Amino acid sequence: MQSPATFPPQIGPVLEALSITGTFVFAASGALAAARLRQTLVTFAFFALVTGVGGGTVRDLLIGAPVFWVHDAVPAIACMIAALLVWFTPRRLWSDRALDWLDAIGLAAFAVYGAAKALGYGVPPFVAAMMGVVTGCVGGIMRDLLAHEPSILLRPELYVTAAALASGLFVALRWGGMEVPVAGVIAALLGFLLRAIAIRRGLGLPLYKQAQE
C-alpha cells in the first residue's frame, strides 16, 4: 500500500482504507456471481478482478491519473484473496442476498473514494461527485454483464442514487470545510444506509410512464 506521504491531495489513510475495503467486497461479489454460475477458479479470479477494479480503472482513465491497480499490487492481491475466500467457503454459508450486501458496502466506499481522488486531481466538484458514481457503479455493471444477469441499472431499486448521495455528500462536506476523514466516513455510512434500506424494503425510484393522449 502507498505510504501516507504519497497519497494524492484529498486522500489519506481513512479513505485509502475505504478503497481497499471497496475493492475487496466488490471482488467478493464478483466471485459470488461466478459461484452462482458454478464456474472454475480462474473465472472466479477474473470476475473478482474485473468487479473489484473496474470502476476505479474507468475513473483513473477519465481524470488522467495512473491506473491505481497497475502501479500498486495491493488491490489486485485483495481481489485474488476475495476470490479464494469465496471459492473455499461452502456455498450454503452465503445467503441469497450476500451479493447485494457486499455490493452495498463496496458502492458506498468506492463512491466516496472516487470523488475524493477526483478532487485531488483538480476535477471540478460537480464532476468529481460524478466520478464517485462511476467508481461505485461500473464494477457492478461489468460483473452483471459477465454473468449475463440483468444490470442493476435496469432495476428500479435505489442504487446509483445511493452512490450519488455518498459522493455528492462528501464533496459538499469538503466544500463546507469538514476534514477529509470525517467527511468520508459520514458520506460512506449514509450512502450505505440508503442502499441498505432499499435492499430491505425494496425502495426504488418511480418508473417512467408515457403520457396518455
Give pLDDT, residue 44.
Answer: 96
| pLDDT tens profile 36-66 | 889 999 999 999 999 999 999 999 999 999 9
For residue 78, give the nearest of 106, 113, 108 by alpha carbon: 106
Largest CA distance in the chain: 63
Express each pLDDT in 101-145 by its tens digit: 888 888 998 999 999 999 999 999 999 999 999 999 999 899 999
pLDDT digits (tens, 9 = 90+) for 193-203: 999 998 888 77
The pLDDT of residue 52 is: 94
**CA atoms of 40 and 31, how far apart (whole Å):** 10
Helix (H) or strand (E) run with residue 160 in it: helix 160-175
Q: 123, 131 in Cβ contact below 8 A? A: yes
Q: What type of residue is 68?
A: F
Residue 153: CB partners within 8 Å, gap ≥ 6? 137, 141, 159, 160
**CA-derived radius of gyration, the chain:** 17
Judge residue 20's burial from the number of C-beta atoms within 10 Å of its C-beta, 0-12 exposed, 13-18 middle, 19 or more buried. Answer: middle
pLDDT in tens, 58-113: 999 999 999 999 988 999 999 999 999 999 988 777 776 777 888 888 899 899 99
**Cα 91 to Cα 154: distance, rounded to the nearest angstrom:** 27
**pTM for this model (two decimals):** 0.85
